[in-house]
Amino acid sequence: MSADRESHDMNGMTDMTQTDIAFLLADAADEVEIGIAPVQVVIRGGRRRRARRWAVAAATTLVLAGSTGATLAVTGLPGGGHADRRTNVATEPPSPDARHVYVPQLTEVARGTDHGTSWRVVVSVWGAPRDATEAAGQLAAMRKYGIVPAALPDRRHLVGKSSHYAGLYYGDNHLRVIMFDTVRKWDPLSGTDLMSAALPLAKLGTDGPQRLVVGTVATSARQVKCGWKDGTSTVTVPRAVAGSPVNWFACTAPAGTGYETAEVIQ
């Protein structure tokens, strides 16, 4: 999940994403029903970009829009610098709890009602474990939060990396993971850059139009427009998510239609 690859063309990106998902789904347990529909990737923008190996749930469309060419440096840990010569106080490293290793930072991005059933989209951001012991504890905590094995990386790949999961709660159904990634460094987004996933707004395994769109934009983005196949559109305001250097958005299509486009308009 963490490595970056150069995307040379649309077919290359599609193969990369399907390979990633096949690897992640290989160890899936009976706790989750996984569809077999492939993920379709669409790249927009005139320049090539280094694309993060995002993974999305099966039967989901992942859209990458805009172009960025930099990488975001991980913020340094507290401490360091010049010590105060007047004092000699030992500074202990932040505890796992302070780093959100076992209890993530949770932010609700959107909520609503669909045919009488309540739903909400929640993003969880998990701090980077420092060793294998912390990584094992984090995996156990993720399972308790309802993140299914298919969406969990091997604990060896968690050390030194943060993880984030965007998930859908639909009625009484278990959490459905929409977009997830485990990285050492976050990719930056700027200007009109946008990354999104579209999927049916229903319980896991249900076919239907892709009525829910969830994605990320730069913190400078003020409005996102989601266009639907019936010609209508919805404008939504992205919101900050605790622990995330990018803003997140979610929008839903009217009944009977589905995803067509998503773009930053302001």
Residues 138-194 pLDDT 10s: 999 999 998 988 788 888 889 999 999 999 999 988 889 999 999 999 888 999 999
For residue 252, tell me if it sits in a domain.
yes
Residue 236 in any domain: the answer is yes
**Using H for helix, E for strand and C for coil, what is the string for the chain?**
CCCEEECCCHHHHHHHHHHHHHHHHCCCCCCCCCCCCCCEEEECCCCCCEEECCEECCCCEEEEECCCCCCCCCCCCCCCCCCCCCCCCCCCCCCCCCCCCCCCEEEEEEEEEECCEEEEEEEEEECCCCCHHHHHHHHHHHHHCCCCHHHCCCHHHCCCCEEEEEEEEECCCCCEEEEEEEECCCCCCCCCCEEEEEECCCCCCCCCCCCEEEEEECCCCCCEEEEECCCCEEEECCEECCCCCCEEEEEECCCCCCEEEEEECC
172 occurs within a structural domain = yes
Identify whether 89 is part of a domain. no
Q: Does 74 map to a domain?
A: no
Full-prediction pTM beyond 0.75?
no
User: Which tens digit of pLDDT belongs to each residue from 207-259?
Assistant: 789 999 999 999 999 999 999 999 999 999 999 999 999 999 999 999 999 99
Is 101 contained in some domain?
Answer: yes
Is 84 within a domain? no
What is the number of structural domains in the chain? 1
Residue 27 pLDDT > 60, yes or no? no
Question: pLDDT: is 55 or 263 the higher one?
Answer: 263
User: Within a domain: residue 19?
Assistant: yes
